Structure formats: structure tokens, C-alpha cells
Amino acid sequence: MRYLHLRTLIFLIFLSTLSISLHASFNAIYFKEEQSGSDPSVFTEEKGNSDSRAFTVFGEPAILANGVSVPSDFPYSNVLTNENPASGRIVLSYRDSNAPYILILNNDGTPFWYQKLDAILRQFTKQPTGLLTALTTYNHPVFGTIPHSYIGMDNTYTVVDTFYAGPNAYVDEHELRVLPNGHYLIIAEEKLFGVDMRTIVQGGDPDANIDLTNLRELNERDSVVWEWRSLNHFEYTDIDPALWHLTDSFIDFPHINSIDIDEDGHLVISSRHLSEVTKINRETKEIIWRLGGLRSDFVFIDDPFDGFSAQHDARCLGNGHYSIFDNGNGRWPQESRGVEYVLDTQAMTATLVWEYRSQPGRYSGQFGNVQQLPNGNKLINWGSDRHPNVTEVRPDGTIAYEMKFEDREKCYRVHRESWDAPAVKPYLIVESGTAGITLIFNQFGDGQVDYYNIYHGLNPAPSAVLDTSRLTMKTLTDLENKEEHYFRITSVNQSGEESDFSNEAYVLVKLIKPGGNQVLNPDFADQDEYWEFGVNGEVTASGSVENEVYHVRIQENAGSSWLVYLGQMPMELKQKKSYIMQFDAWASKTMRIQPAVINNNSGSDYSKIGKIQITQERKSYSYEFISGSANSEAVLAFIITDQPGCDVYFDHVSFKQQVASAVYFTADDLPLDFQLSQNYPNPFNDQTVMTLNVPVECRICMTLYDVLGRQTGTVRKGNYLPGDHQLSFQNPSLSSGIYFFHVAAETANGRQLYHQIVKMIYLK
């Protein structure tokens, strides 16, 4: 059997394990603003309420209060303030490498629309033309993961266009502007090698590498019709010395990170590493004015910081007004803020007419934006995982809306946009597990759906209806084991009209007893069934099963960069659980191999075993590790990167979840009835936990009420399999008092099976 993502995941490991002799500058992560990791900050971290996620069911998909179903790794948000904000929904991307999403959120934090991704996207934006655009990436053989293109989706969420940077350039991740005539403005990256910086600055590197960002306009045929090259108008010495040293071997210049069109049709750009906002004549390409930085044409008025530093997102507001997100990297103390200036191009002054600085101050070393809203409010994205992802402030400085992702994730840009477009067909995600699979499907925004048809088969494009559902989620436990199953979904509206098919999803069904071995064909009794062998780089190798042992042969004619692997997927990883990987291995001579459990989304090795030494003696190896913070699928792999001219052998491979400390039910010992335990601790002041015993597969609804019978907590809904489920409750926004936690179980058609109430005491 062959699995599409396995080769891609191994390629990520291939890039990270090879000792390729590249210039030092390009060994850095491509997204240069992320090199420093988490933002350093001298300010305190905000602690959020839990408005949108009062009830947490660990590691389970759920149906939210608005009826939208979400996967187990969905990025929940905490709405900190929601007091009559501007109209519209929140458009943003959630960049977590283990579970990346692009999202359109309602003000209560529930999703209006979402799409789960295979790789993180820096940008997800609604263009002025109404198109939704998102940046895609690919794995470059030298530079690693870099931007590939932008895709454009119409109001049916169908990809209708793709945007490139044109010849001899890479797409830069910072900005795309789609124009009404079908043209588009884009930041195009050019790589310069071997630049002699000694002619520019004393002590300069004679062989420096430059990432140069330029502007291009392309037409609907992706042909370049206009170009503005930075080096024709800026000097290297314009770089803000507080941000970059010209003596470095790698220089990122000038790091253009936004493009906007002023009311007179000319362009305004932000160049982060110059600490400068520049206006450019569209016709002559000459600079009209320069604001900020070493060459500023303006004097700042009423600005306590006398300008901005390492800024993002310069926007034209009209009548000489411009907003900027000021990161503040190059000053001390470092503090970020939103600002608005009015420019007087006769007196050459830039007067600060609006500023928002949080109390206490917030700092973000990268990312961030400010958006002017139609009602006069301004929306700020702080660009840091330490601070709220959205702060909407009124003209008087009070907060109308504030939201922060529960799992602390930064966003590059966030906007509030008018968006009500319903989907025309369902969107499907399949989550596989060792107890069954769960189908998660939504026809977003369409209130006319009566029910869904679930199409299923053992081959692509299934055309047989397996079941129907009035819910947006379905769990299946009786599918044929150890087979690939394919699914498509349609919706049927109240007039009986059926939609087009959803995207197709397929999954290998692996029904495994709790704590059982997830590896199929672990002893190679079925030859190489379920296993994949592969080679990357300059080496000749082969793999086959002999006497129920997997034998890898690596020829002597190997170059300097190569990798051989044997792997199988998917392996189920539940969040923050203990796992054990075991196998037998030996070789024709002493050498090193790398066992790994690679996350299906991020490509990171959860096992962190590293390279181990094996010898001619057959030995058994055993390694334990804790999984990550989100449910995921993984590939189990053995990676070989050295010792050409060697034979390597594998046998008795297993991958199991450690279950000694957990409670599980066998088929003969399932709960006879529903039972909800009293919460513990009780009273509580932070978090409390309950155990729910479920005898049959059903839908569970959870609601919190105060002593007057008013609903005070968000309703959480989800499908549950038979067994023991741990529920955790926390909501710091509650006042001290007595509350009632109500649990109700019902069948798919709404027949109630059970309900129970637990009284809880919350003490602040």
C-alpha cells in the first residue's frame, strides 16, 4: 500500500538531517521574522476568560453551539470582550504547525467557515475585489519550505485563480493586492549571491547573500507589466542599524511587508528593515516621499517615540491620513502600538493623531496590523502569541472586542470583514482512530440543509450511500478493518435538492484494542503489505522481506547527501499521552539509524529518539515518549543516512499507547448504563473534572445553569463512543456561587437516552 503524505513527511526529515554544505545565510529558517522564536517581552501576559470554550472534552471532535462541527484539534478562542463591536466577521489564519487552519470566525469565537491545512499559511485575507486569498508553500530542495503562490477563492470557497511572482523571482509571503482590472500587485523576492559588501561598508562580507524584495504588477496571464526594483531607489546604507548589520553575511533588504494604493493612485509601501514608509509614483517609479527611517522627509509632531521602528502594515486612510502597526524593535523599552499620522506635504510634518498602547504595554517583535473599520473603530492584531489576536478599540480608546486563541498562537494579519457567503457543498474532514473513525462535515452558512448523505466505498469516487445524518458529525465503528475507505458527502435541502459532492477523503481503518499494537503486519508475515520503502538523494538501495524479516540493502555508490527509509502510517497520537515504540534491528556492520514518529502536519519527530547505534547482533529496542498538545496522525519510520555498502534488518515492530494508568472497557465489560460522577474537586476555583460512563454510541450535550435556571455556559455537543470519558470544566469569568452542570444523551434522530445534573460550587 502507498500513502500520499508519507514520502512528503520523510522528505522533511531528509532536509533536516542532511549535512548539506550551504552558505550560512540560507541555513536559517526562510520566514526570517520568526528566527527568534517566542517574543521576548518585559510586559505581563494577559489571562483570558473562557467564554467560547467553557466545556472541554479532551481530544474529541465536537458540534459547537452554532451547529458547526469541528475536529479534535480545532483552534478554540477565548472571547475576552464583546461589547457592541463593528459589524462583520474575523478573518485570519491559525499558524500552529501541528494543526494549521484558515478561519472566518463569529464574534462569539465559533467558526462561520474554516479549512484545515497541510502546512501553515502566513496570510489569509479578503481582497477589495471580494476574493479570499491564501498563501501556499512548497519544499524547495535548497531553501526548505518557502512560499509557492497565492490561491484565490470565490464566495463559494472554490479556488478560481492562482497568483505568482513571475520569472526569476520567488513569491514573498507578505502581501498580495488583487486589482479590479484582473491585475495584481505582489512582493517578488530576488536572491543575490556573492555580493561584495566591502564596497558598501567597512568590514563588509566579500561574499554576502542578499534577499532583495521588489514590487511587481502582473496581469491576468501572470505576465509582468510593471516592476519596481528596490536597489534602483534605496541604498543598502538606508537599513536601520538598530535592526540589521551591513557586515553580516546575509542581509534581508529592504524587507517590504505591505503594499497599499493611495487615493491618488500611487503606491505606499512599508519597508521593515528601513523603518520607513515610502510613497512611489506609479508612472515614473520615482519616490514621492519617505516617512521614517534614516532618510525621512518629515518631522514627527506630537509623537512620544518620534516615529516608528520595524513597522508592519502601512495603510492609506484618505485625506493624508495613514495607519501603521509600530512593532518598536529598534527602541528601548520595546513596546508595540497602533498609530495614525496625518501628513502635511507642504510643511513636511507627520502629526500623530491617534495612538493605541495597551496598559500594561505589549511588545511583538514581528507580525501585526491595524485596520480602520467603517464605524470609526480600529482593529489591532498584536502579532504575538503572548497577547490577544484581536483588539478592537473605539475612538475614545475603550475596547469593544478582544479575542485570543486558547492555545496561544500568533497571527500575521487579522481583519474584520463583511462576509455572509454560504457554502454550496459540504466540506469534509475524516479523523481516524483505533476505536473507529469520525466524519466531520459542514455546509457552512447554509441554513436550508435538511440532512446529509454519506457516500462510502473501498475505491475512489464512492457512489453508494452508506448512511444519512441530520447532525454535522458521524462516528463509524463497523467498517471493514485494515482497508482503505473513501468518503464523500452531499447535502439535501428542505426542497429535496441534493448538492454537489464534497471533497473526497480516505482513511485506512485500523481498529485496535486499547493499548494494542498500531503497526499492521509488524512481523512482515504478509511481506511488505502496509509498509513503504523509499530513497532520497544520491544512493542506490532496495528493500524486501526475506524469511519474515525486512532487509534493506544500501549500495556503496552513495553521494554526500542521501537518505533511505522504511515507514508506515497512520499512527494515532492522542494529545499528551504516553507511547512506546519497540523493534528488533541489526546490520552487517556497526552503524546508526534513526527511529522516528513524525507528525503528519508539521513533520516534527515526536519521539525525539535521535540516531541510535545498531550492530551485527540482533537486539530489541524500546523507547517511550509523550505525544504533543493536539491529536494527530503520524508516520512511524526508520531512517538511514550513513554507512553505504551495508545491510540493515528490521523485525517485530510495535507502536502502542501506554494504558496502565487509564480506565478502559473491553467488549465484555462495557458500562451497563450512563453515569456522571460528581466533579472533583468541589468546591473548586480553577478547574474541575468529571467522569462520564457511556454504554452506547450517542450524542452528548452539556450545558451550565446558575441557581436561577439561566444558561451561563456555552453549550458543547459531540458524538461519543462507548467507554469512559473525562470531562474538564473551567470558566474564570463566572462569579462565585452554585451552578448546575447538565448532561443529556440522545440518539442521532433526537431520542433522549439519559440526562443528569451535577451541582458544583465555584469559589473565586
- Better-scored residue on pLDDT, 317 or 29: 317
Please check whether residue 411 is in contact with residue 383, taking contact to mean a CB–CB distance below 8 angstroms: yes
Question: 3-state secondary structure string, 412-446?
Answer: CCCEEECCCCCCCCCEEEEEECCCCEEEEEECCCC
pLDDT given at position 136: 83
pLDDT above 90 (res 278): yes
pLDDT given at position 264: 97
d(CA 487, CA 495): 24
pLDDT above 60 (res 479): yes
- Better-scored residue on pLDDT, 147 or 49: 147
pLDDT given at position 701: 82
- Better-scored residue on pLDDT, 761 or 527: 527
Of 674, 698, 682, the C-alpha closest to 740 is: 682
pLDDT above 80 (res 625): yes
pLDDT averaged over every residue in the chain: 86
User: C-alpha cell of 714?
Assistant: 456555552
Residue 685 binned pLDDT confidence (cut-offs 50, 70, 90) = confident
Nearest 10 degrees: Cα torsion 515, 518, 524, 528:
180
Please check whether residue 390 is in contact with residue 370, taking contact to mean a CB–CB distance below 8 angstroms: no
CATH of domain 4-20+516-657: 2.60.120.260
pLDDT above 70 (res 662): no
Q: Which residue has the cell 462541527?
A: 69
Residue 138 binned pLDDT confidence (cut-offs 50, 70, 90) = low
pLDDT given at position 150: 92
pLDDT given at position 573: 86
Distance of CA 445 to the CA centre of its chain: 22
Do 427-508 and 675-762 fold alike per CATH? yes
The answer, yes or no, to whether the previous bond of 254 is cis (omega within 30 of 0) is yes
Of 610, 579, 615, the C-alpha closest to 596 is: 610
Q: How far apart are the first and last CA of the chain?
A: 56
The answer, yes or no, to whether the previous bond of 570 is cis (omega within 30 of 0) is yes
d(CA 546, CA 528): 10
Please check whether residue 226 is in contact with residue 179, taking contact to mean a CB–CB distance below 8 angstroms: no
pLDDT given at position 318: 97
pTM of the shown model: 0.78
Ranked by mean pLDDT, the top range of 60-64, 255-259, 410-414 is 255-259
User: C-alpha cell of 346?
Assistant: 507642504
pLDDT given at position 49: 38
The region of weakest confidence among 130-144, 168-182, 286-300, 401-415 is 130-144
pLDDT above 70 (res 31): no
Phi and psi, residue 517, nearest 5°: -75, 120
Please check whether residue 581 is in contact with residue 573, taking contact to mean a CB–CB distance below 8 angstroms: no
pLDDT above 70 (res 570): yes
pLDDT above 90 (res 316): yes
pLDDT given at position 672: 60
Q: What is the mean pLDDT of residues 382-386?
A: 91
**Domain segments of the chain as ranges:** 4-20+516-657, 427-508, 675-762
pLDDT given at position 714: 58
Question: 3-state secondary structure string, 562-580?
Answer: EEEEEEEEEEEECCCCEEE
pLDDT above 60 (res 366): yes
pLDDT above 90 (res 186): yes
For 696-750, the pLDDT digits (tens) are 778 888 888 776 667 776 556 777 878 778 777 777 777 777 788 888 887 766 6
Q: What is the mean pLDDT of residues 155-182?
A: 94
* Residues contacting residue 609 through CB under 8 Å, at least 6 positions apart: 581, 594, 595, 596, 623, 625
For 588-620, the pLDDT digits (tens) are 999 999 999 988 766 788 888 999 999 999 999
What percent of the chain has pLDDT above 90? 61
What percent of the chain has pLDDT above 70? 86
Residue 93 binned pLDDT confidence (cut-offs 50, 70, 90) = very high
Residue 1 binned pLDDT confidence (cut-offs 50, 70, 90) = very low
- The CATH number corresponding to 427-508 among 2.40.128.20, 3.30.420.40, 2.40.50.100, 2.60.40.10 equals 2.60.40.10
Q: Which residue has the cell 479578503?
A: 126
User: C-alpha cell of 394?
Assistant: 473605539
pLDDT given at position 618: 96
- 414 half-sphere exposure, CB direction, 13 A CA radius: 29
For 187-207, the pLDDT digits (tens) are 999 999 999 999 999 999 999
For 203-234, the pLDDT digits (tens) are 999 999 999 999 999 999 999 999 999 999 99
CATH 2.60.40.2550 is held by the domain 675-762: yes
